[in-house]
Chain A
Amino acid sequence: GQQLNQSPQSMFIQEGEDVSMNCTSSSIFNTWLWYKQEPGEGPVLLIALYKAGELTSNGRLTAQFGITRKDSFLNISASIPSDVGIYFCAGQDTGANSKLTFGKGITLSVRP
């Protein structure tokens, strides 16, 4: 099935650094979502974006819905050790085909 493009597969940063992740698609979506998954758990919703061009923050996290509706980015500022995990982007349509389409995720490691 279709998947969104997230790269690189892994990122290694120093505590206190900012990090940015990008997600692209060949199709447009009406909603973009960012989830974080930690070992042994399900994905936890971080940010939901509903309008092209929208910029939304959640604490140290900021995400934007691309104006073409085919991409989104997530920025984490001043990283801390508990930011470690896998970050997934997901696109969602509306109506009958409102399933989530996921990227493969980016594994973030934070060095103290």
Chain B
Amino acid sequence: KAGVTQTPRYLIKTRGQQVTLSCSPISGHRSVSWYQQTPGQGLQFLFEYFSETQRNKGNFPGRFSGRQFSNSRSEMNVSTLELGDSALYLCASSLTQDRVRYFGAGTRLSVL
């Protein structure tokens, strides 16, 4: 059974640009959540989607957004990139919101 797949693995962008990251959950998993990992703040929750609806949102500015498709695949978008957005962005999938989450390898975003 394939794990959580995140693409791309690495991205380099410049300030002011926007970026879209993709996450394919484990087959049969309907909940997808996103986390930002930085050395200073650790792992911080961004948002969670279940059945194409955002169910929970962390304390991030509106520049961070996401969506989920009918096949449970999810994308997150960051607009007007700032230097501080440089981080490892992790996607996690679970059968439902209450079940254990399994993480992908992440997308390493560098903002120059």
Contacts and interface: CB of A to CB of B under 8 A. Distances in A.
Interface of A: 1, 3, 31, 33, 35, 40-45, 48, 88, 90, 92, 94-105
A16 to B, nearest CB: 30
A34 to B, nearest CB: 11
29 contacts: A1-B44, A1-B58, A1-B59, A3-B42, A31-B100, A33-B100, A33-B101, A35-B103, A41-B105, A41-B106, A42-B4, A42-B6, A42-B90, A42-B92, A42-B103, A42-B105, A43-B43, A45-B100, A45-B101, A45-B102, A96-B56, A97-B56, A99-B33, A99-B58, A100-B43, A100-B45, A100-B92, A101-B45, A102-B43
Contact of B48 (A48, A99, A103): A99
Given A3-B42, A40-B105, A101-B45, A96 B55 contact: yes
Nearest to A93: B98
Contacts of B33: 99-100
Nearest to A102: B43
A102 to B, nearest CB: 4
A30 B80 CA distance: 37
B74 to A, nearest CB: 15
B97 interface: yes
Given A1-B59, A99-B33, A99-B56, A88 B43 contact: yes
B100 A95 contact: no
B90 A98 contact: no
Nearest to B33: A99
Nearest to A42: B103
A48 B90 CA distance: 19
Contacts of A92: 101
